[in-house]
Structure 1
Amino acid sequence: MQLVPVSLAYFLEVARTGSVTEAAHTLNVAPSAISRQIAKLESGIGVPLFIRHPRGMTMTDAGSRLVAHARRSEAESAALVDELRTGRGADVRSVTVACSEGFGRRFVPAAMAAFRRDHPDVAFQLDVVPRQEATRRVVEGIADVAATYTMGPQHDVRVESAVVIPVAAIVPLGHELAGRDRVTLAELCSHPLALASPGTSQRELFDIGVQLEGLAVRPALVCDALAPQYEFVRSGGGIALVGDLGDLDRDGRTEGVTHVHIDHPVFRQREAQIQTMPGRRLSWAATRFTELLVSLLVSPSRGRSAELPRPR
């Protein structure tokens, strides 16, 4: 059940799909009904919300601004309906977090465990998804907070914290690069590599750096999940890349690998961010957990469970 007006609900679906026909199919209503509601909304506001094309629709600036408002309203109404049905009141003790793979390995689960030490009645839902999907879930109110990597400015979310995270090579123990403080891209590319797929931020920056250096690379393994990459390295298959969220020193030798930072400025173009929806009223638990994630991200000892600050 949604409390937002029908016109806004229809508007959001057209904005998401870029088509009245597709929106009608998703909502199981006639396209003419959606067109009437959109026209009524535009007439009432006094400005066009979409630019009509022969095959689809794109939002105007006013439409983009209305989307942000409508998504906040939709998220608030869904939360209110849940509160009314469950009787839990405004102080909801559950938090939904979306994060990309690097954050899901240690950083976010360790923060959740630390938070529950002081607040054992708080429950978490953690969704590990691609970086753009983590942001989308916050934008659309599906997740309370996102922890993800980004490149370039973010317009539809509130960036609670942004930090440039160094990138390190995962190297097997006993490897000729083990024990080094830093390694260049040229040195790295002389060994078999396990890399993420081209759509990931880390791979995009790696490919840019390789192109700038005039290097030729043919990955030995392409995989977005970290666990298989660690096993590949540990078993002697090659070298992989990972963002240093503060858990590398602790995890290294116990997993049969070590970590060496990669010395190249191209990786400074990527930020680790904690994101929430602009203007959305988060529950007490979600607000405090977001604060904890922010404090951990800016800490030099990011993600080390033994040094987690006590949540308030």
Structure 2
Amino acid sequence: MKSGLRLQDTTLRYFLEVVKYGSISKASEHLNVASSAISRQINNLEDIVGTTLFERRPRGMVLSVAGEMLATYARKNALESNRVISNIAALDGLNRGHIKISCYEGFAMDFLPRCISKFRKEHDGINFNVNVSTPDDITRRVIHDNADIGITLSYSPAKNINVAYQQPSPIFAFMHPTHPLASKEAISLTQLLPYAIALPEENTTIRQLFDISCSRLNLLFEPALVSNNIATLCHFSMSEGGIHLAGEVTMRHILTTKKLVAVPIRDKGMGIRNIEIQTLSGKTLSVVVKLFLEYLIEEMQSEKLNYEL
């Protein structure tokens, strides 16, 4: 790096947008800044550090080794700035701030909005943005600082992720109380074969574990219904259409109405996933994010249902 030269916030912000979108033109659209201005800033930045930061390819721009190092520094610098600003705002009785959360659909149906509502009764100046994504996308959003907190399902550790809380999330069979299997203490996948079953799509952890377990047991199911919408699967079972599979947290609010019952599935492969509350490893959380994170974990622990498999 040339001596006496400093990296400016605007330059680093443009640099990170190019990193995020993989092209100057897409960064230009997002920032509403001319492509030429962004290109000029990137060229100036490469001149300051004395090396190439991107490999220019036909389908976009990929970070060089030096670019990876600078991106790590720039992200930490941006995170620290956001943390300081949030902490200053939080000095006003913890009644100001903004929290970004990314979670899977089941968590967004009841538990999370209920937690936010209860939390805001004491901190009504704190606002939330909740993004519903797939488990892999949730983790990516946390890593790229598009979410302060991620609530996801996982069965393996993720790089650059701090797991603030974890609890098992086995898969249950949910059915109408009048269903022939509703009185069972536990069932196997084999026992489900004679009955209509509703399944989520293949990009979900439930479907992946179900398919792996069925393959191992040489079971072939023809689902009566496949959907990417949890509510659709739930109402199928509530209407006595058959059985659907889900985690306990997803269906917790429905179970309290007695409109469905949950029966544990005893096959070991159906219980290896975990609920994880994630934050970015190495990131210093703002006061308001830390406060809500602690509240979220307490709520999850207090409401946890202890089913025995």
- What is the number of residues matched between the two proteins? 298
2:189 pairs with 1:198: no
Which contiguous aligned blocks of 4+ residues in structure 1 show a shift greater than 6 angstroms? 79-84
Q: Is the Cα contact below 8 Å between 2:84 and 2:286 reproduced in 1?
A: no
Amino acid at match of 2:218: G
Which residue of 2 is the match for residue 243 of structure 1? 247
Which residue of 1 is the match for residue 262 of structure 2? 259
- After superposition, the Cα gap between the structure-2 partners of 1:126 and 1:22, relative to the gap in structure 1 and judged at 3 Å, is closer
- After superposition, the Cα gap between the structure-2 partners of 1:232 and 1:41, relative to the gap in structure 1 and judged at 3 Å, is same
The CA distance in 2 between the partners of 1:288 and 1:82, in whole Å, is 12
TM superposition score normalised by structure 2: 0.78
* CA offsets 1:103-139 (integer angstroms, 9 cap, x no match): 123332343355456x244544252501344334433
- The alpha-carbon deviation at position 166 of structure 1 amounts to 1.1
The CA distance in 2 between the partners of 1:227 and 1:167, in whole Å, is 16
2:156 pairs with 1:152: yes
**Structure 1 segment 55-74 matched on structure 2, within 5 A:** 55-60=59-64, 63-64=67-68, 66-74=70-78
Amino acid at match of 1:38: I
- After superposition, the Cα gap between the structure-2 partners of 1:136 and 1:246, relative to the gap in structure 1 and judged at 3 Å, is closer
The CA distance in 2 between the partners of 1:61 and 1:212, in whole Å, is 43
The CA distance in 2 between the partners of 1:302 and 1:277, in whole Å, is 25
Q: Is the Cα contact below 8 Å between 1:83 and 1:89 reproduced in 2?
A: no
- After superposition, the Cα gap between the structure-2 partners of 1:185 and 1:4, relative to the gap in structure 1 and judged at 3 Å, is farther
**Structure 1 segment 109-124 matched on structure 2, within 5 A:** 109-116=113-120, 119-121=122-124, 123-124=126-127
The CA distance in 1 between the partners of 2:95 and 2:133, in whole Å, is 27
Q: Is the Cα contact below 8 Å between 1:192 and 1:220 reproduced in 2?
A: yes
The CA distance in 1 between the partners of 2:244 and 2:251, in whole Å, is 16
Which residue of 1 is the match for residue 3 of structure 2? none
TM-align CA RMSD:
3.5
The CA distance in 2 between the partners of 1:87 and 1:288, in whole Å, is 11
Q: Is the Cα contact below 8 Å between 2:196 and 2:243 reproduced in 1?
A: yes
- After superposition, the Cα gap between the structure-2 partners of 1:4 and 1:219, relative to the gap in structure 1 and judged at 3 Å, is farther
Q: Pick from 205, 214, 217 the counterpart of residue 213 of structure 1.
A: 217
Aligned-residue sequence identity (percent) comes to: 33
- After superposition, the Cα gap between the structure-2 partners of 1:252 and 1:242, relative to the gap in structure 1 and judged at 3 Å, is same
Gaps of 5+ in 2: 1-6
- The alpha-carbon deviation at position 258 of structure 1 amounts to 0.4
Paired residue secondary structure (1:176) = coil
- After superposition, the Cα gap between the structure-2 partners of 1:233 and 1:81, relative to the gap in structure 1 and judged at 3 Å, is same
The CA distance in 2 between the partners of 1:65 and 1:107, in whole Å, is 39
Select between 87-96 and 137-146 the one with higher mean Cα deviation: 87-96
Q: Is the Cα contact below 8 Å between 2:90 and 2:287 reproduced in 1?
A: no
TM superposition score normalised by structure 1: 0.77
Gaps of 5+ in 1: 305-312
Paired residue secondary structure (1:210) = helix
Q: Is the Cα contact below 8 Å between 1:101 and 1:128 reproduced in 2?
A: no
**Structure 1 segment 268-307 matched on structure 2, within 5 A:** 268-297=271-300, 299=301, 301-302=303-304
Paired residue secondary structure (1:183) = coil
The CA distance in 2 between the partners of 1:181 and 1:87, in whole Å, is 49
* CA offsets 1:249-269 (integer angstroms, 9 cap, x no match): x74262411001122333444
The CA distance in 2 between the partners of 1:235 and 1:133, in whole Å, is 32
Q: Pick from 184, 189, 196 the counterpart of residue 185 of structure 1.
A: 189
Amino acid at match of 1:174: T
- The alpha-carbon deviation at position 162 of structure 1 amounts to 2.6
The CA distance in 1 between the partners of 2:8 and 2:175, in whole Å, is 53
